[in-house]
Structure 1
Amino acid sequence: MNGYAVSRASLSHEEKLSLIDDRSLSDVESESARIDLEGRFSSIQWASTAKTYCNGLRLSSWASSILKTGIFLLPSFLHPRTARERFRPEKLHPTAYLDGMRGLAALFVFFCHYFYTAFLIAEGWGRNDANYEIWRLPFVRLLYSGPSMVCIFFVISGYALSLKPLKQARSRSFDGLSQTMSSFIFRRFFRLYLPPLISTFGVLILLRFGIYERTRDFANDRKYIHNVMEHHPVLEETFRKQFWHWVREMNDFIHIWGWEKFGGATGYDVHLWTIPVEFRCSMLLFLITLGTSRLRTRVRFICIAFLMWYTIRNDRWEMVLFLWGFMLAELDIIRGAHDPNTSQSSSTPATLLPLEKTPPTAPQKRGSCNFLWTLISIPALYLMSAPDAGPDGVPGWVYLGTYIPEWFSDKYRYYQMIGSIIFVFCTARSTSWQRAFNSPIVQYFGRISYALYLMHGPVMHTIGYQVQKRAWNFTGTEGCAYNWGAVLACMFNIPLVIWVADVFWRAVDAPTVKFAKGLEAWVSIDE
């Protein structure tokens, strides 16, 4: 029986908590993360449910195995055990809104990679007196703005990885801090790299079975692919050559010794270049966290501010986002955002100015603060809407583009970076945004976010391309018919990717988290 076939009765309280600490892309590690275990674990108890059904129906072993597999392949939100529980309000931890934000970001990254093969989505609205489609407008384009969502990923990662260590440092719990940092550093490699190692090995298997060959011609056919032609994995002559090619690719994928753009990108899934970036930035963040843990708060802020200036001046925008996540986490600790004594509930945290410690007592003041931070988030979203093709020739962005430093290489990321920082800052103080990100469907995407990030590429290059080809053969590829074909394909491909991500989350992503924790417990020195 595998990790997901274990019943709740056989798990200790500590084991249950350990299974949910590292559930998604940014590896949230908050000591305040105490969720409703019964509601969360019921969504993955497929094996015990299947066993009950099989015993009741007295099925043969083969029929039993088929039924178990069929139940497991159901999306978690359609699982029989959760059918009666889907509409129960779930107790959320104070930073659950970050999970939801990350989930939507992963979904929008998928939309970016899905639509940029067919449409020119990088151009801004009105660029050079052209491109006046409504989906190019600011705010609307965030639905498929992958680079902006990557900025959100990195800010959330910096926040999530800093929150617990900062709490321990501020409470002078340095022994606990040492244990936490040791655990984070040991498990970070497994958390980030095990799932993509498994997903890319799955791509290898699909290659050897010829699944990718069915769509190779489509992937390079300008009749269907009007914009970006993504790299299609290469089929080697033999399985032996294919395996060693994958091994070399995975060695390059780890990529801890370089900082070049898209370093570590693998031909088995070109979308995964952010994973090595996450790992490198995480390791640097852990070093900075340890190095500043005994400093006074003001001195630590000065040091972090200097490091951010030095980092951005050296064109390392990704590390700046991690450092800002660190800074935002400490600001929230200072204002008591995660303290149950200073917030009304997990869904309505205090909406205070950054350095205030006493919550407002009047509901009117809380409402006015919420409105203020929600209002400030609007220009932040506008900055996140910076066109990926750059500001040149785009109304409203031509002027802003003049303020981008010459030494900043990725011009389009400059305002996306600033906007993502401001948006996370405002969301931490806006109950309206938090209610939106804490809604059940958004929280669901938060749970499967890493799996969604890993699965959308392989699914699209195999079944997805076949669906698109058939859709365009049905509607035609000229003029508006091409657009209708894309819409028709979306109706099947988007649910397909979500379904596969759901299965991968339960089969691979969550078990690898448990594996990393179990391995750490096994090899660590007992106190």
Structure 2
Amino acid sequence: MNDAFSGARRVDYLDGLRGVAALVVLLGHSLLVFVEPIITLNPSFTGRLAGLAVAIGKSPFGFLWNGNSAVCIFFVLSGFVMADFARQTSLSFPAQIVRRYIRLALPILLSSSFAYLLLGFGLLRNTEAAQISGGWLGLWYQFAPSWRTMAYEALAGTFLNGSNAYNPNLWTMHPELLGSFYILAIGLFRRWGVLRLALYLVMSLYYWNDYLPLFAIGALLRDVGQVQPLSARPSLSVATFLIGCYICSLPAAGPGVSLPWHWPLPVIFGADSVRYWHSAGAVLIVFALLHSPVLQRPFQSGYAQFLGRISFTLYLMHIPLLCSLGAWLIIHLSSVGYLGTALIGMPISVMACLLLSAIATPAVDGLGIRSSRFVGAKLDGVIGLLMPVRVATAGEGS
């Protein structure tokens, strides 16, 4: 049986995919900082260079920098991992919930503290840099720092309503925690596969206008296991993966922006059509990867595994660094022109984000992992003392 479906150990190629998705988010935000028209498709400067940037943004290679598609992949993977954890763990449900919350909240608190310190010491130069490079940088950190507000946002606000003043990426934490809770709760019905399937369907229909169905689909991929016709035909898996990459490249065209002929995808479900397409592409990518050893090998490489190890820290830390170091580079490289600033500043910023994340991961992500396991085990022990004869998990016994 493929390790992806055995639950016996971490699935290295899925860790690699998570790491590559984190890199995609970093590249997307770095392009917004240094070459904004590739993402927005609206020139923030004039000349042939602007037209080239827009043309690149409309190309079918956007899966390399499309952050929203990468976030959709994160959610599918979270559903898969949470379903696998729910099937394998002996922790009580309250301990599972607390463990998941701490696993997310502590790294968020540490990374938000980093942004708070940068803001407090006047090191966030994004507003000044936005006057040179484009408007996206100027959207953030337009307030005086408050440690109380920062702490509340990191520990509660981001989970309750998506509050993200100290880190724009935190909008994803509300669906991340809520989706995890749903999958862990559905996982209580261990033997009742049909009931779990029905609950995944109900969850998807109820939240059809949100990202939460991606958690249900990820969990379903864990429950269903391998689809033999797809696993037996490697070319079909590769084709499915490439179609997913193509769909994930669909740019978010704003008002008045037309897409070229190679984007015939119809508008579905109204104004937020792009999100539905990105969700579909993310599902195809994960689905194909689960069934293809050929596709799995690149994500098992040392580079992908390195990215996987630092992925959560990289996701949390890179925007404050782009708004400080990246903005500083834009200001001080302005004399070499727009193209020169991008060619020099973006590689430096990307490498700095990777380096900082690698250094900080043991403290940021490592602390979250260790603390969540410790508190989860302790809470489970307390529950065991209060309820010596624990009621078996619903349907448990498989």
Normalising to structure 2: TM-score of the pair?
0.83
Question: What's 2:45 paired with?
Answer: none
Q: Do the aligned partners of residues 326 and 108 (structure 1) sit closer, same or farther apart at CA in structure 2, a change above 3 Å counting?
A: same
Question: What's 1:142 paired with?
Answer: 63
Matched, 1:204 2:116: yes
Question: What's 1:506 paired with?
Answer: 362
One-letter identity of the residue aligned with 1:207: L
Larger CA deviation: 300-309 vs 193-202: 300-309
Matched, 1:436 2:298: yes
- Confirm or deny: 8 A CA contact 2:95 2:380 kept in the other structure: no
Larger radius of gyration: 1
- Confirm or deny: 8 A CA contact 2:60 2:246 kept in the other structure: yes
* Aligned-residue offset at 1:459: 1.2
Q: Counterparts of 1:421 and 1:328 in 2: how far apart (Å)? A: 9
Q: Secondary structure at the match of 1:395?
A: coil
Among 195, 200, 210, which residue is 1:304 paired with? 200
Q: Secondary structure at the match of 2:187?
A: helix
Among 152, 157, 160, which residue is 1:253 paired with? 157
- Confirm or deny: 8 A CA contact 2:159 2:173 kept in the other structure: no
Q: Do the aligned partners of residues 207 and 308 (structure 1) sit closer, same or farther apart at CA in structure 2, a change above 3 Å counting?
A: closer
- Confirm or deny: 8 A CA contact 2:31 2:39 kept in the other structure: no
After superposition, residues 107-506 of structure 1 pair within 5 angstroms as 107-117=23-33, 118-122=35-39, 133=53, 135-166=56-87, 168=88, 179=91, 181-212=93-124, 215=125, 217-221=127-131, 223-225=132-134, 229-232=138-141, 234-236=143-145, 242-250=146-154, 253-256=157-160, 263-290=161-188, 292-295=189-192, 297-312=193-208, 315-316=209-210, 318-332=211-225, 335=226, 352-353=228-229, 369-389=233-253, 393-396=258-261, 399-402=264-267, 404-406=268-270, 409-473=271-335, 475-476=336-337, 482-506=338-362
Q: Do the aligned partners of residues 300 and 207 (structure 1) sit closer, same or farther apart at CA in structure 2, a change above 3 Å counting?
A: closer
* Aligned-residue offset at 1:329: 0.6
One-letter identity of the residue aligned with 1:498: L
- Confirm or deny: 8 A CA contact 2:129 2:330 kept in the other structure: no
One-letter identity of the residue aligned with 2:348: F
* Aligned-residue offset at 1:471: 2.3
Structure 2 residue ranges without an equivalent (≥5): 43-49, 385-398
- Confirm or deny: 8 A CA contact 1:29 1:160 kept in the other structure: no
1:92-118 residue CA offsets vs partner (Å, 9 max, x unmatched): x5x211111110111110111111133
Q: Do the aligned partners of residues 300 and 233 (structure 1) sit closer, same or farther apart at CA in structure 2, a change above 3 Å counting?
A: same
Q: Counterparts of 2:328 and 2:173 in 1: how far apart (Å)? A: 28
1:264-310 residue CA offsets vs partner (Å, 9 max, x unmatched): 232211122112220111112222222x4342x34543443344234
- Confirm or deny: 8 A CA contact 2:30 2:346 kept in the other structure: no
Q: Do the aligned partners of residues 227 and 198 (structure 1) sit closer, same or farther apart at CA in structure 2, a change above 3 Å counting?
A: closer
| Identical pairs, percent | 26
One-letter identity of the residue aligned with 1:218: E
Higher helix proportion (structure 1 or 2) = 2
- Confirm or deny: 8 A CA contact 2:62 2:248 kept in the other structure: no
1:193-238 residue CA offsets vs partner (Å, 9 max, x unmatched): 11111111222223333323xx2552442x23365533125235xx
Q: Counterparts of 1:385 and 1:400 in 2: how far apart (Å)? A: 11
Normalising to structure 1: TM-score of the pair?
0.64
One-letter identity of the residue aligned with 2:39: A
* Aligned-residue offset at 1:328: 0.5
Q: Counterparts of 1:29 and 1:185 in 2: how far apart (Å)? A: 23
Q: Secondary structure at the match of 2:38?
A: coil
Matched, 1:519 2:375: yes
Question: What's 2:8 paired with?
Answer: 32
Q: How many residues align?
A: 370
One-letter identity of the residue aligned with 1:277: P
Larger CA deviation: 457-466 vs 496-505: 457-466
Q: Counterparts of 1:281 and 1:219 in 2: how far apart (Å)? A: 37
One-letter identity of the residue aligned with 1:503: I
